[in-house]
Structure formats: C-alpha cells, structure tokens
Amino acid sequence: MIRLFAGLFCAAHMTCAQAAYPERPVELVLPFPGTGSTDIAGIPRITKLARIMQNVSAPSLTDNMVQEIQQTLGAALGQPVNVLRRVRGKTNLGTRYVANAAPDGYTLLFADTPTITVFPVLNPKPPIDIAAELVPVAMFARMPIALITVADRPHESVRDIIERARRLPASINYASAGEGSTSHLTGELFAAMTGARIVHVNYNGSLPAMNAVLTGQVELGFVPLPAVLPYLGGGKIRIVAMASSTRHPAVAGIATMAESGAAGFDASGWFGLFAPARTPSAIVSLLNYDINRALSEDVLQRALVAQGMMPAPGSSEEFRMHVQNDRERWARVLATASIKR
C-alpha cells in the first residue's frame, strides 16, 4: 500500500511539473554555420574572416527557419527561445550537446537530413548514438532536390538521360552540394534505382555546384531547390525534373522524376526539431502541437514555399518513422557509394 501511494504521488508530481513547463527560457541549438546547413552551404573552413562575413551577411535559409521557430515557440510557450550555435565536426558538436542535456524540454536541436541519417553512418566512431539519444519532436519543412542542366542544352527527359547513361556508362557527370549531402545521395539513389551509371563530382556547397553546371564543367546537377530558384529568372538554368514525390508549387509546371521515367523515385531533404531522449512525452506533444499550429498558418506556408521549401506538419510519431525510414534507405545507398569516411 505504501509503495502504491508513493507511485501515485510520483506520477502526480511529474504531471504537475510537466504542466508547469516551461518556467524558464528554452535553448534551441543550431549545429550549422551562419551560411546555412551542410546540405546547402557545404562544410566551410571556419576562420576569423569567415565569422566576420557570416555576421554581416544576410540570414541564411536555415537561420530564417530558426527565426520562425523562435517566434512561434516563444509566443506559444510564453518564454524566450534563445538560439545557441554549436558548429564543428559535421554538426557533431551541436548534436552531442543536445543529447547530453537534461531531458526536460529546455534544450532542443534544429537538425537536417545529413545530421541525423547520414553523418552517423559515415562516421566509424560516431560521438553519440543519435537513434537512441535523441527523440524526434516535429518535422518543420521538406527541402526538394532538383535535377538541373543549362537551359541551352538539347531537351532531354529523365527517361532520355537514363537510356543514354545505360548506353554510354560513366559518360554523364553530375554535381552535388557536397559529399554525403542529400543532393549527392539523391544522385546515388537515382543511379541505383535506374541502372544509370553517372559520375558524381563533389562541390562544397550549392553555389559551387550551380556554377559548375552554368559553366559546363558538369552536365547535370542534383541541387536543393532553394539554391536553384534564384537562377531560374535569368533563363540560364533549366530544371529537368523534381526528385520529390510531388510537384512543388513554386515550379508547378516541372514534373517529378517519377512522372518522367524513374518510377517510384522520391528523395528530398528535411529540417526538424529534436529533444534529448527520455524527454517526457507530454512535453514532446506540446512542442509538436505548437509547431504544427504555426505550419497551418497561410503566411508561414507561403514564406516556406517561396524559398523552395515545403511545410511538413505531422505527429512526432510520423516524424520518427520518417527518420527511421530515411536512415535505413540512406544506409543502403551509402553501403555501395564511394564516399570518404
């Protein structure tokens, strides 16, 4: 009987403690430099000059999304949400910082696809077990990948490219935003699913990859749509197809790769919120609800779409399953891809 009452008291105490959340500011850890995520900006060599340039340059896409989350959660929780940048070791520093934090909802991580599903596989001795030490809270946005070429090349469909790559193996090269980036793995997945032997050319970020396509150094590029959109107005870049399963409203006339000859193809990056493992489910649910409520607002939806992103509302369990499926899929791709580890 004593043990029963003690258990009931503890359960009631935990419920009350969670109901009071939050009682102080929340810390949102950003493991990317000011230039953006590794998927878009590559992995820069951080120097004193680089830090100065980051401070005076316009906010990156990643920073813009984090500012939206800051405002959203700050208003919903009634507490400040302070951003803490922890950049080093392919985002390892930031992820380890959050994984080691108290599981009380006061330390959160804003992360992307490579951070959670790719870098741990590439690292033979990862500093933490991300699957066991972090819990997915909410996906914020998806980042579509576009297959691009220069506008003055002869028009080819995805089916035409596949047939040519099969007929002339290793004759087609493609640029990506960096080794191990979502754009790189999209190219590797394309090769694996279609049997098209194409050659990967690694560039450190989306801008160098775009320039490589523009100048004819490479024929094709798998590049995040946010980096492609600014180039479409000049008429020098053409999107061959979108790698995601659905068309993007900003380029609604562009078909998907699945519609264009690569049946079942679906690849895109994402950004989302994570918390330390063992964070109470009530807190995870509260944070997920607040993020989803913000994503339901028309103003935020339009802002994300205009930047080449797609709002991605859903439950924390749906996000967990998506992360798990991505981890398994990219692990299979990485097993056969030639990538420095």
CATH number of the domain that residue 193 is part of: 3.40.190.10
Shared domain for 221 and 273, answered yes or no, is no
pLDDT band at 273 (very low <50, low <70, confident <90, very high): very high
Global pTM value: 0.87
Question: Residue 294 pLDDT more than 70?
Answer: yes
What gap in Å lies between CA 112 and CA 180, rounded to an integer? 12
**Confidence (pLDDT) at 91:** 81
**Confidence (pLDDT) at 337:** 76
Shared domain for 31 and 97, answered yes or no, is yes
Q: On the CB side of 195, how many CA atoms lie within 13 Å of its CA?
A: 8
What gap in Å lies between CA 43 and CA 340, rounded to an integer? 14
Shared domain for 133 and 274, answered yes or no, is yes
Residue 17 lies in a domain: no
Least confident range from 3-12, 22-31, 37-46, 128-137: namely 3-12
**Confidence (pLDDT) at 2:** 45
Pairing status of strand 310-311 against strand 172-176 = unpaired
Which H or E run contains 229? helix 225-232
Q: What is the pLDDT of residues 158-191, one digit of tens each?
A: 999 999 999 999 999 999 999 889 999 999 999 9
CB of 134 closer than 8 Å to CB of 31? no
The boundaries of the domain holding residue 316 are: 26-139+268-336
Number of domains within the chain: 2
Residue 109 lies in a domain: yes
**Confidence (pLDDT) at 17:** 43
Residue 269: count other Cβ atoms within 10 Å of its Cβ.
30
Which letter, b or e, does each residue of 55-71 get, where b requires 16 or more Cβ atoms within 10 Å of its Cβ?
Answer: eeeeebbbbbbbebbbe
- Which residue among 187, 218, 251 closes a domain? 251
Higher pLDDT pick, 302 / 35: 302
**Confidence (pLDDT) at 81:** 96
Q: What is the pLDDT of residues 50-84, one digit of tens each?
A: 444 344 344 688 888 999 999 999 999 999 999 99
Residue 260 lies in a domain: no
What gap in Å lies between CA 188 and CA 190, rounded to an integer? 5
Shared domain for 158 and 246, answered yes or no, is yes
What gap in Å lies between CA 144 and CA 142, rounded to an integer? 6
DSSP 38-81: HHHH------HHHHHHHHHSPPPHHHHHHHHHHHHHHHHHTS-E
